[in-house]
């Protein structure tokens, strides 16, 4: 049985040097003042980092020489390196495997849509949620990522897009890990990339996914951020959801739905429910009807996801006929539901698969 602490966890800071990507603008302003510098130096540094994509302090030529020398001694910008990149020949989806300073690896995915470029970032190395259809959990949780390590993922993708004259238009925290377990760094990341001096990505273009950490959902609701909350539901009742997602033993479906309604009441933001369709497990019409009843009265969208095949799990994808019947039944019952467009099917596009391959676990 999975054990979930009620208090969300933060990563341990082990770096001696300060990673510049790890600071909110307000924190960098305070830091500059502690160095005897005016606050506006922080905006200059932010502009160099996020607008001009500087990869070294030496590029920041409008900073005083003494400050540049101090930053070169005491800070870092990039702490990870790209070790693998896969590009889909079908749709251009690009998956990156990055190695962090301690040798751990994380995945990041660029998805190209006709409405813009979306980047899926990881928030932890591995995951301990134990969802039976996900490759991210196979090796367990290694550690949390810092905010700077999450920011660095999106900056690496943005630099690649710069070569095409394109930009990141939306971000999803849906890669490896549970963002709301690594709460503080995940929200720090959101604050950094939404800042006008940062990447200036609108909060409504950011989606945070959770497997169902109810206290963290309520905390997020109280902060009234205008991000989109995506809840991994995957089953309409406790018996089935517990068999797929051990976290349901800690917070059951009723508690999760209460938290979802509280989130909508506090923020006015429509909830997105993720529902992985698994052949013969959760994809039949009675379950569609039960799901419709469960979300009745809550402004939401059901995102149906034909499950990716994971060798260790042996789950089978629903048939096209069952998928169509399921979504049609939800729509007939007045539920806004669509089937997620499949992207990167010719590469290791499912969360955790590329990392698992690199480590020889698949």
pLDDT computed for residue 132 by the predictor: 86
Cα of first residue to Cα of last residue in the chain, in angstroms, is 24
Closest CA to 144 of 164, 162, 117, 122: 122
- 304-333 tens-digit pLDDT: 999 876 566 678 889 999 999 999 999 999
pLDDT digits (tens, 9 = 90+) for 89-103: 988 999 999 999 999
Q: How far is CA 253 from CA 148, 161, 190, 276, 335, in A?
A: 34, 40, 28, 16, 18
pLDDT at position 345 = 60
Q: Which of 29, 107, 149, 152 is catalytic?
A: 107
Active site residue 107: yes
Compute the distance between CA of residue 77 and CA of residue 101 in angstroms, rounded to an integer.
12
What whole-number distance in Å separates Cα of residue 97 and Cα of residue 270?
32
List the structure tokens of 282: 């959760």
Interval 208-248: pLDDT, tens: 999 999 999 999 999 999 999 999 999 999 999 999 999 99
Instruction: Look at residue 307 in the predicted model and tell me its pLDDT.
Output: 86
Same fold, 18-76 and 81-358: no
Q: Where are the domains of the chain?
A: 18-76, 81-358
pLDDT string in tens for the chain (362-residue length): 344 443 333 444 434 468 999 999 999 999 999 999 999 999 999 999 999 999 999 999 999 999 999 999 999 999 999 999 999 998 899 999 999 999 999 999 999 999 999 999 999 999 999 898 887 878 899 999 999 999 999 999 999 999 999 999 999 999 999 999 999 999 999 999 999 999 999 999 999 999 999 999 999 999 999 999 999 999 999 999 999 999 999 999 999 999 999 999 999 999 999 999 999 999 999 999 999 999 999 999 999 999 876 566 678 889 999 999 999 999 999 999 999 887 656 655 555 556 566 655 54
CA 38 to CA 30: how far, in whole Å? 9
Beta-carbon contacts of 118 under 8 Å, excluding residues fewer than 6 positions away, are 110, 111, 168, 169, 170, 171, 172
Q: From the candidates 127, 131, 300, 351, which is the catalytic residue?
A: 351
Per CATH, domain 18-76 is 1.10.150.530:
yes
- Architecture per CATH, 81-358: Alpha-Beta Barrel (3.20)
Is 131 an active-site residue? no
pLDDT confidence of residue 16: 40
Residue 76 bridge partners (DSSP)? 19
Please give the pLDDT value at position 226. 95
pLDDT at 351: 56
């Amino acid at each position: 049985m999975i054990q979930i602490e009620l208090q969300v966890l933060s990563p341990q800071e082990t770096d001696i040097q300060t990673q510049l990507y790890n600071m909110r603008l307000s924190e960098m302003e305070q830091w500059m003042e502690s160095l005897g510098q005016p606050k506006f130096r922080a905006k200059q540094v932010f502009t160099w980092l996020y607008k001009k994509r500087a990869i070294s302090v030496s590029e920041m030529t409008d900073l005083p020489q003494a400050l540049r020398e101090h930053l070169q001694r005491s800070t870092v910008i990039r702490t990870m390196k790209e070790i693998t990149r896969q590009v889909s020949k079908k749709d251009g989806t690009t998956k990156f495997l990055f190695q962090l300073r301690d040798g751990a690896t994380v995945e990041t995915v660029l998805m190209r849509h006709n409405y813009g470029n979306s980047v899926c970032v990881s928030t932890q190395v591995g995951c301990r949620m134990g969802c039976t259809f996900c490759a991210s959990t196979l090796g367990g949780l290694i550690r949390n990522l810092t905010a700077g390590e999450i920011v660095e993922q999106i900056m690496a993708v943005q630099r690649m897009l710069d070569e095409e004259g394109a930009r990141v238009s939306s971000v999803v925290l849906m890669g490896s890990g549970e963002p709301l377990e690594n709460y503080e760094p995940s929200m720090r990341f959101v604050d950094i990339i939404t800042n006008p001096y940062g990447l200036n990505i609108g909060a409504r273009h950011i989606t945070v996914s959770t497997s169902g950490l109810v206290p963290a959902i309520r905390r997020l609701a109280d902060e009234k951020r205008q991000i989109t909350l995506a809840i991994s539901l995957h089953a309409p009742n406790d018996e089935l959801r517990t068999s797929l997602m051990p976290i349901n033993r800690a917070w059951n479906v009723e508690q999760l739905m209460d938290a979802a309604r509280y989130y909508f009441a506090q923020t006015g933001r429509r909830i997105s429910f993720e529902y992985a369709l698994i052949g013969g497990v959760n994809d039949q019409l009675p379950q569609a009807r039960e799901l419709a009843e469960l979300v009745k009265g809550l402004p939401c969208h059901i995102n149906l996801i034909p499950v990716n095949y994971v060798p260790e799990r042996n789950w089978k994808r629903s048939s096209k006929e069952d998928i169509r019947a399921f979504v049609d039944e939800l729509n007939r019952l007045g539920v806004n539901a669509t089937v997620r467009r499949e992207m990167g099917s010719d590469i290791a596009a499912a969360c955790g698969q590329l990392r698992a391959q690199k480590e020889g676990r698949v």
